[in-house]
């Protein structure tokens, strides 16, 4: 599933081509995503100028003059620019055609993504109650320490809780915990302030670097420019269960935490 770096990579790829452009029409070939695409999306968006393309957590916000298209890529979705009128292939469900002659095309083989129209996007049900963005000053180790007090849940699902901080999905939680030297199985409430300060720094560093590298290519992800991400080549723990630790040579172990596979080094992470 595309995580924050993949979504941010997509945003950066499509924003220059969308912002300031007027929508000529919206073609919906299949409305059957995770939730049905609004039947009046063409009427709502056509004729409007796109003001900005933003991101909140893993949601893309395409802000028009009146209203916002909220898009989630689901497990296999991607948004990329194509020439308007380019024949659609299987699974290419939506085209947002622009007066520039380009079109923003949404592809989703598994149809687990979503598109909503909202006049007040930040107060939409899916965006309410979200925690701070991890790459802002609103998120730091002190926040993690304070919110973790008395929590018996494992630290990995704790930092993946969107009420604590948004966008720290399975890949980057695994990598950040490895970099901070913290065993993902440890109780969140038993970790010291100092270790949380380091963990927050590593979360920020790894997410920022992953964005620079274009995200992580896992199965279907392709950025808004049509290119794959390259961070996968630099993973230390995620997906490497049974392999040797790149730091100490110990065999990495894999466990299940919160229904997710979690890989860690028994020597480097305590």
User: pLDDT tens digits, residue range 218-263?
Assistant: 334 344 444 544 455 579 999 999 999 999 999 999 999 988 899 9
Inter-CA distances, 178 with 126, 130, 136, 251, Å: 30, 25, 22, 14
pTM of the model: 0.87
DSSP, collapsed to helix, strand or coil, labels residue 212 as helix
Q: Mean per-residue pLDDT for 143-171?
A: 97
Annotated binding-site residue? 151: yes
- Look at residue 222 in the predicted model and tell me its pLDDT: 44
Q: Which residues of 198-230 are buried (b: 16+ CB within 10 A; e: fewer)?
A: bbbebbbebbeebbebbbbbbebbbbbeeeebe
CATH top class, domain 141-264: mainly alpha
**pLDDT at residue 211 tops 50:** yes
- Look at residue 233 in the predicted model and tell me its pLDDT: 58
Which of the residues are catalytic?
A: 2-3, 58, 260
The number of beta carbons lying within 10 Å of the beta carbon of residue 170 is: 20
CA–CA separation, 237 vs 170, rounded Å?
Answer: 11
* All structural domains of the chain with their residue ranges: 4-123, 141-264
Query: pLDDT tens-digit profile of 51-81?
Result: 999 999 999 999 999 999 999 999 889 999 9
From the candidate CATH numbers 3.40.50.920, 3.20.20.70, 3.90.1300.10, 3.20.190.10, the one assigned to the domain spanning 4-123: 3.20.190.10
Structure token digits, residue 28: 């919906």
DSSP, collapsed to helix, strand or coil, labels residue 71 as strand
H/E segment holding residue 98: strand 92-98
DSSP, collapsed to helix, strand or coil, labels residue 73 as coil
**pLDDT at residue 201 tops 50:** yes
**pLDDT at residue 31 tops 60:** yes
Mean pLDDT lowest for which of 16-20, 111-115, 161-165, 258-262?
258-262
Tokens 């007040």: give the residue.
Answer: 120
CA–CA separation, 109 vs 158, rounded Å?
Answer: 31
The number of beta carbons lying within 10 Å of the beta carbon of residue 154 is: 19
The reply to whether domains 4-123 and 141-264 share a CATH topology is no
CA–CA separation, 87 vs 8, rounded Å?
Answer: 27
Inter-CA distances, 19 with 1, 7, 22, Å: 26, 17, 9
User: Which of 202, 237, 221, 232 lies closest to 110, judged by CA?
Assistant: 221
CA–CA separation, 109 vs 180, rounded Å?
Answer: 36
H/E segment holding residue 204: helix 193-212
**pLDDT at residue 124 tops 60:** yes
CA–CA separation, 186 vs 140, rounded Å?
Answer: 19
The number of beta carbons lying within 10 Å of the beta carbon of residue 108 is: 25
Within 13 Å, how many C-alpha atoms sit on residue 187's CB side?
6
Contact 258, 174 (CB under 8 A): no
Bridge partners (DSSP) listed for residue 104: 81, 96
Q: Residue 126: is it exposed, middle or buried by C-beta count within 10 angstroms (0-12/13-18/19+)?
A: middle
Q: How far apart are the first and last CA of the chain?
A: 28
């Amino acid at each position: 599933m595309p995580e924050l770096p993949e979504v941010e990579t997509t945003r950066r790829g499509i924003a220059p081509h969308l912002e300031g452009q007027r929508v000529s029409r919206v073609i919906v070939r299949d409305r059957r995503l995770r939730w049905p695409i609004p039947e009046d999306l063409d009427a709502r968006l056509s004729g409007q100028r796109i003001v900005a393309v933003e991101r909140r957590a893993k949601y893309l916000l395409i802000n028009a003059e009146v209203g916002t298209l909220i898009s989630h890529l689901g497990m296999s979705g991607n948004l990329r620019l194509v020439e308007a009128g380019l024949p659609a292939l299987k699974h290419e469900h939506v085209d947002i055609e622009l007066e520039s002659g380009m079109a923003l095309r949404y592809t989703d083989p598994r149809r687990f993504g979503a598109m909503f129209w909202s006049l007040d996007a930040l107060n939409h049900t899916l965006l309410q109650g979200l925690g701070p963005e991890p790459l802002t000053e609103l998120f730091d180790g002190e926040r993690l320490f304070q919110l973790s007090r008395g929590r018996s849940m494992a630290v990995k699902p704790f930092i993946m809780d969107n009420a604590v901080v948004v966008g720290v999905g399975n890949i980057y939680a695994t990598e950040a915990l490895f970099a901070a030297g913290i065993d993902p199985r440890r109780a969140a409430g038993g970790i010291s302030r100092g270790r949380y300060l380091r963990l927050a720094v590593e979360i920020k560093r790894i997410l920022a670097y992953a964005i620079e590298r274009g995200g992580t290519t896992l199965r279907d992800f392709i950025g808004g420019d049509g290119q794959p991400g390259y961070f996968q080549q630099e993973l230390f723990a995620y997906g490497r269960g049974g392999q040797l630790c790149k730091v100490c040579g110990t065999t990495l172990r894999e466990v299940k935490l919160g229904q997710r596979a979690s890989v860690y080094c028994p020597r480097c992470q305590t």
